[in-house]
Structure 1
Amino acid sequence: MAAALPAVLLSACAPATLVPAHDANASRDTLYVTNKRGNDLSVIDLESGKEMRRVETCANPHELALSPDGTHLAVACYAGTRVDILATAGLEKAASIELGENARPHGIVWHDNGDIYVTAEGRKSIFRVKDPVGPKPETFEFSTGKDGSHMLAVSPDACHAWTMDLGSGTVTLVDLLTRRAPRSAVVGVEPEGIDLSPDGTVLWVSARGSDTAIELEPMTLNVRREINVGRFPLRLAIRPQGDVAVTSNLADGSLTVIDVATGEPVRTIAVSSPEEAQTRFQVTILWSDDGQRVYVAETGTDTVAEIDYASGTLLRRIKVGDGGDGLAILSAGAHGAD
């Protein structure tokens, strides 16, 4: 008779249904941007496009994630060993989660079940942080066994996670329930970007060295299709509505739009010219919740480009701090808006 699984692992596949709290006084959308060279966080009023505040963070902050109820932000401290959590109301530090020697946390997801999942690039692992803003947060480490586990996606039921492993050139599937050995596959050349469809059935990755985007079967990692996109596709993000994905093409300043159903590229959105792209250094991309806007961090010029998705029009460039990279949006009415 098989031994019973520990309760902590069983709970990994039992996402809570969280109902966001609301604040009647919050009337504007807020963009948060981690500035990796400035070691701080920009707080942008999206109605005006103006920076309202800038607060100090840890050294070299990269990715960040917003809690499901909008009350907290989690910042991956890439030059260090911890995840810092800030309250969106006031931006005071609410917690600091230590991940251990040489962690170098990067990719981060704050799941609907309330837990945080984060890559620890220097430890070849993923961490799950349970009850991150509670009185006694708990951390659980899952090995990827691969070098440079960098970006991250987590299934809707929190049973599985996928990493892009820069050093090994692989995508890795990690079982968060049974801890069976991770499964890895070599994909493209220098794969880095990754995203999972909202229903968990479609996994896309981007390979910056081969200028391709690749659709994988999530559980087997078998390649379904591989397509050519723009030059040096550093990131990939699927629209919240699940119909299209976009790649952030650093070398030519464009976004390639991919039809998720057919796997075909359907259009290219020019964010900057190929000449401008060499200095803008386009990196992270983020969709608005309604899928009408795409935000693109241009870390070389300390700007975030706002694009109207339907028309492909560049609406404006928003000035942020030194080396703006990680992005998160707190929608109007969510509790804790600054």
Structure 2
Amino acid sequence: MGGKLMLKKCFWILIGSILILFSGFSRAWADEQKNAPLDLASYDPKTLVFVANRDSSDIAVIDTQTDQVVRRIALGKYANPHMAMLSHNGKKLLVSATGRDRFLVVDLATEAIERTIETGQAPEHFAITMDDRFAYVGNMEDSTVSVIDLKEGKEVRRLKDFFEPHGFSVLPGDNKVYVSNFGAHEVRSVEIPSQQLAKRLAIGNVHRAAIRDPERYQSELKGIANPTPTIDGRFIYAADGDAGVVGIIDTETDRVIKTLKVGEAPWRAYSSPDGRFMMVPNNGDQTISVIDVKSQEVVTTLQGGAGMTGVNFTQGGKKAYVISGAEGAVFVYDMATFKRVNRLKLGANLALETGATTVDGLKVYVASSTDDSVYVIDSNTDQVKRIPNVGRFPWGVIILGAASPNYCH
């Protein structure tokens, strides 16, 4: 009798142990599932940062809630992406695969490349219409623009006779796209319904400067890097790198209505999200020209840094963060007083590239190509955090619905 009781007791102890062990496994499995990375389609796309890594030919995806890399999307050998952008509906990732002369469409639900579209030589920058129908892609090596029908997944036209088409801006209403020519001193407008060139708009009078200094102005052109629209799309601001001027284009008449003198070797104009200012980094004299959009005048000139590659605005335009790529630093300006309030040295021997501002306007993500990192700046405190190992040679940074207009360089 005692033996039977002992066996029964041992049996129930064994069952209890199994149940406890199973319960532990269940909790561990539940915790693992809870903490498992979601597929990208499960995220709000506006909470993600997409980073084009040129040398590793992939896209890193960073969750802004955790500042962790949650995905690396492979683009294939030698893709060498220059720029990435999300479709406006947040479902597709669009990439210029410069190394393969291709334009890629990635489905975020499957994280697979669903379209590979042949372009001209060395596609870099591009823009898409607000209805997600067309992409305009600048092919730098053969100076053409590929018009891609994103719905059909194919190139429908290749526009010729550009000069290193570098920057693109689509007007609200999807009626026109403006294309800058880095190898010429002009901006061109293209009518979207007809996909035909509408106007050639000359900026500055560089031919006069060339007479005075032919070695500089005829050896290598530094024309227009980007046609930057005002928030309402009423005007385009185009900085000419050789002439040291900014031309203002009326988008209703397609005429240059004003030319402003800025600093030496201006890179391009950056619009503040409140629509009040254009900031123009001048890399020739390391200054920054601030243009009042309402008066269309330069209201102040700020001291900048070497090799400035971008401007990011935070807190609705109250602060401006200017990237000095050559110094590995970011300069911070109070836009109410036009005073420099900080210089953030992100590290030694860093080459900073581009940046993007979160939708809430509180954080800036800056790509650093030399240490394969992205640096996160808190705009309230100016504290900096490093995200390492995002991929090799991170270059272009993009956020859907960014609080400061996205850009590439």
Q: Establish whether TM, by shorter chain, passes 0.5.
A: yes
Q: Distance in 2 between matches of 1:62 and 1:302?
A: 15
Percent identity over the alignment is: 21
What's the RMSD between the two structures over aligned residues? 3.7
Q: Deviations over 1:73-116 (max 9, x none)?
A: 100111232211112234221222223xx432222223221222
**Residue correspondence of structure 1 range 218-229 to structure 2 within 5 A:** 218=251, 219-228=253-262
Matched residue count: 304
Give the secondary structure class of the aligned counterpart of 1:261. Answer: coil
Structure 2 residue corresponding to 1:202, chosen from 235, 243, 257: 235
Asked if residue 69 in structure 1 is aligned to residue 69 in structure 2, the reply is no
Distance 1:85 1:254, change over 3 A: farther
Q: 1:164 corresponds to which residue?
A: 180
Structure 2 residue corresponding to 1:60, chosen from 68, 71, 80: 80
Distance 1:27 1:70, change over 3 A: closer
Q: Distance in 1 between matches of 2:87 and 2:47?
A: 15
Q: Which runs of 5+ in 2 are unaligned?
A: 1-39, 205-221, 305-320, 330-347, 403-409
Structure 1 residue corresponding to 2:137, chosen from 118, 134, 149: 118
Instruction: Kindly indicate whether the alpha-carbon contact (under 8 Å) linking 1:253 and 1:273 is maintained by their aligned counterparts in 2.
Output: no
Q: Distance in 2 between matches of 1:215 and 1:304?
A: 34
Q: 2:103 corresponds to which residue?
A: 83
Shift of 1:65: 1.3
Q: Distance in 1 between matches of 2:97 and 2:156?
A: 18
Structure 1 residue corresponding to 2:167, chosen from 147, 151, 175: 151
1:67 partner amino acid: S
Greater share of residues in helix: 2
TM-score (normalised: structure 1): 0.73
Distance 1:211 1:51, change over 3 A: farther
**Residue correspondence of structure 1 range 1-338 to structure 2 within 5 A:** 26=44, 29-58=47-76, 59-99=79-119, 102-115=120-133, 116-130=135-149, 132=150, 134=151, 136-141=152-157, 143-187=159-203, 189-209=222-242, 213-218=246-251, 219-228=253-262, 233-247=266-280, 258-263=291-296, 264=298, 269=321, 271-272=323-324, 275-276=327-328, 280-307=350-377, 313=382, 315-319=384-388, 320-330=390-400
Distance 1:153 1:176, change over 3 A: same
Q: Distance in 2 between matches of 1:85 and 1:318?
A: 26
Give the secondary structure class of the aligned counterpart of 1:326. Answer: strand
- Using the TM superposition, name which of 81-90 and 153-162 deviates more: 81-90
TM-score (normalised: structure 2): 0.62
Q: Distance in 2 between matches of 1:294 and 1:280?
A: 17
Q: Distance in 2 between matches of 1:85 and 1:224?
A: 39
Q: Give the number of the structure with larger relative contact order, counting CA–CA contacts within 8 Å between residues 6 or more apart.
A: 1
Q: Deviations over 1:38-62 (max 9, x none)?
A: 2111111223322222232252211
Instruction: Kindly indicate whether the alpha-carbon contact (under 8 Å) linking 1:254 and 1:271 is maintained by their aligned counterparts in 2.
Output: no
Q: Distance in 1 between matches of 2:352 and 2:126?
A: 19
Q: Distance in 2 between matches of 1:314 and 1:255?
A: 24
